[in-house]
């Protein structure tokens, strides 16, 4: 089963006779340790958050065009977390085309 962001509760709004809304609230960062390690690699907050979610959920590939952040640190990230491949969209396309031949 895939890991998921932890459920922190629900935001409920009761409109009386007009209805009721209930929204789940999940953590933006499902693994604080992993997030801190990525931040220590000098990734900005949003990049670290996105990668944390991808790694935590067992994604095989993370696609990005971010030359100054994630791609600049790709080798270091993949050394530390070898289960995920960080690729440009064009690199994934090349791999898919090679696999079809």
Q: Show me where the domains of the chain are located.
A: 28-100
Average pLDDT in the 12-39 region? 88
Half-sphere exposure of 16 (CA within 13 A, CB side): 0
What pLDDT is stored for residue 1 in this prediction? 42
- Lowest pLDDT segment from 19-28, 41-50, 76-85, 86-95: 19-28
Best CA proximity match to 47, nearest among 79, 75, 3, 77: 77
What pLDDT is stored for residue 41 in this prediction? 96
Q: pLDDT tens digits, residue range 52-89?
A: 999 999 999 999 999 999 999 999 999 999 999 999 99
Around Cβ 16, how many Cβ atoms within 10 Å?
A: 6
Euclidean distance between CA atoms 19 and 1, whole angstroms: 34
């Amino acid at each position: 089963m895939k890991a998921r962001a932890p459920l922190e509760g629900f935001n409920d709004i009761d409109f009386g006779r007009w209805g009721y809304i209930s929204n789940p609230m999940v953590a933006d960062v499902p693994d604080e340790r992993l997030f801190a390690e990525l931040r220590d690699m000098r990734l900005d907050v949003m990049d670290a958050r996105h990668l944390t979610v991808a790694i935590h959920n067992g994604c095989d590939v993370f696609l990005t065009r971010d030359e100054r952040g994630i791609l600049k640190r790709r080798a270091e990230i993949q050394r530390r977390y070898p289960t995920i491949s960080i690729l440009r969209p064009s690199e994934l396309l090349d791999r898919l085309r090679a696999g079809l031949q």
